């Protein structure tokens, strides 16, 4: 086993920051040396809780011991903050999406390449036990050749529980940009990159009413589609049908569905069907049913990280950078997801199928015992 004492910083102390701090404390995959936020009092409170330092952003970026910084700022700030991190000579790992606009995502990748630095990006849930076991079954031919998939992110919107949901109804958010990265990354992990898209997009309501918190009862203006249907054509890769056609998928992302019994993701093959877990989680359940089988089989998960393990993509990036190997939750993958999402909305507006300009390789599967899985992590996972 390996040990990992690489020091990182975190910029942004929103709800998701606790997951990164927890995995650092519980699994020891990296050390959080300092955290920063525009609200330094909030950063200090979190630093006290997790036994680290609170610093201003400039001071954090000047810390020569940090090899990487995690960017947990709101999506609109992702590009500027990631570029600042790279400018300070550090690898960057960003929450999704990589950026709001394609040009900003391209700028991040170009800056990293010029400086020989790494860019990583959430989600890393596709590295969890559920989706990696699904990948293992797919690669082993358990359902034959995958032909098609359906994916559904159905909900009534975050205003019922989120105390300040306005940003989730602006361009660069909505159900597609907010939750789409989980579903698209899961599908790309299984099939490979997307080469063409079609789409339709609607906005059911022009305003939403906040249902909780100090702003309860106030209205939020909706400036982005809230129900998006995407048709996705994947690169043939190793799953081409006759004529070199790859798998196809239908993906619906909605904040306009009060109730739904649809599955999260299903993969349809020539010999059976895989029913996947929620791609916003790391565990199961994962089910399979063969073409001539009468019942679903719940599959035992064969890969690590069944619980909330946000940060394993960062650990994989740090290890890969040290070994000069490709990492899995890469900036190129995140940019491809960003490009696909923009292409879907453009296809909807233009009412035609569009070719996706970017390409992304299918990430390498994660082994049952990654080289960066430390003794501390193994002990913690065993309980």
Query: What's the pLDDT score for residue 382?
Result: 56
Q: DSSP states of 246-283 as a string?
A: --EEEEEEES--S-----SEEEEESSEEEEEPPTTSSS
Radius of gyration of the chain from its Cα atoms, rounded to whole angstroms: 20
DSSP state of 132: H
Q: Is 170 strand, coil or helix?
A: coil
Q: What is the DSSP string of 327-364?
A: -SSBHHHHHHHHHHHHHHHHHHHHTS-EE-----PPPP
Give the model's pLDDT for residue 3: 45
Per-residue confidence in pLDDT tens, the chain, 383 aa? 344 579 999 999 988 899 999 999 888 889 999 999 999 999 999 999 999 999 999 999 999 999 999 999 989 999 999 999 999 999 999 999 999 999 999 999 999 999 999 999 999 999 999 999 999 999 999 999 999 999 999 999 999 998 889 989 998 899 999 999 999 999 999 999 999 999 999 999 999 999 999 999 999 999 999 999 999 999 977 787 766 789 999 999 999 999 999 999 999 999 999 999 999 999 999 999 999 899 999 999 999 999 999 999 999 999 999 999 999 999 999 999 999 999 999 999 999 999 999 999 899 999 888 888 877 676 666 55
CB atoms within 10 A of CB 208: 23
What is the separation, in whole angstroms, between the first and last Cα of the chain?
A: 18
Q: In the Cβ-directed half-sphere of 363, how many Cα atoms lie within 13 Å? A: 31
Q: 130, 284 in Cβ contact below 8 A?
A: yes
pLDDT of residue 1: 38
Domains and CATH numbers, the chain: 7-125+309-330+358-382 (3.40.50.720), 128-298 (3.30.360.10)
Please give the DSSP secondary-structure letter assigned to residue 216: T
């Amino acid at each position: 086993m390996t040990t990992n004492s690489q020091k990182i910083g975190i910029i942004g102390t929103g709800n998701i920051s606790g997951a990164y701090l927890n995995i650092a404390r519980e699994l020891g995959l990296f050390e959080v040396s300092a955290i920063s936020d525009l609200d330094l009092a909030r950063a200090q409170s979190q630093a006290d809780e997790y036994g680290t330092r609170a610093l201003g952003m400039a001071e954090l970026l000047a810390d020569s011991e940090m090899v990487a910084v995690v960017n947990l700022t709101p999506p609109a700030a992702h590009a500027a903050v990631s570029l600042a991190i790279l400018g300070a000579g550090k690898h960057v790992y960003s929450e999704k999406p990589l950026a709001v606009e394609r040009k900003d995502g391209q700028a991040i990748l170009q800056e990293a390449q010029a400086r020989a630095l790494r860019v990583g990006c959430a989600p890393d849930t596709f590295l969890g036990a559920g989706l990696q076991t699904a990948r293992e079954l797919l690669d082993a031919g358990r359902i034959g050749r995958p032909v098609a998939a359906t994916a559904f992110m159905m909900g009534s919107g975050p205003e019922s529980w989120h105390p300040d949901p306005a940003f989730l109804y602006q361009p660069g958010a909505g159900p597609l940009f907010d939750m789409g990265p989980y579903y698209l990354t899961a599908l790309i992990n299984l099939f490979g990159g997307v080469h063409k898209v079609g789409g339709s997009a609607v906005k059911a309501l022009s305003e939403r009413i906040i249902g909780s918190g100090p702003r309860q009862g106030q209205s939020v203006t909706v400036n982005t589609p809230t129900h998006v249907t995407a048709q996705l054509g994947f690169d043939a890769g190793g799953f081409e049908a006759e004529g070199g056609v790859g798998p196809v998928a239908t993906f619906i992302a909605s904040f306009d569905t009060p109730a739904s019994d649809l599955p999260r993701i299903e993969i349809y093959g020539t010999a059976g069907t895989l029913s996947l877990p929620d791609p916003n989680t790391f565990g199961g359940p994962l089910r399979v049913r063969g073409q001539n089988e009468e019942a679903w089989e719940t599959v035992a998960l064969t890969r690590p990280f069944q619980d909330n393990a946000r940060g394993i993509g960062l650990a994989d990036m740090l290890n890969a950078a040290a070994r000069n190997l490709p990492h899995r939750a890469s900036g190129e993958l995140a940019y491809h997801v960003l490009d696909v999402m923009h292409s879907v909305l453009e296809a909807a507006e233009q009412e035609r199928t569009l070719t996706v300009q970017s390409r992304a390789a299918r990430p390498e599967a994660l082994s049952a015992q990654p080289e960066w899985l430390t003794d501390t992590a193994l002990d913690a996972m065993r309980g």
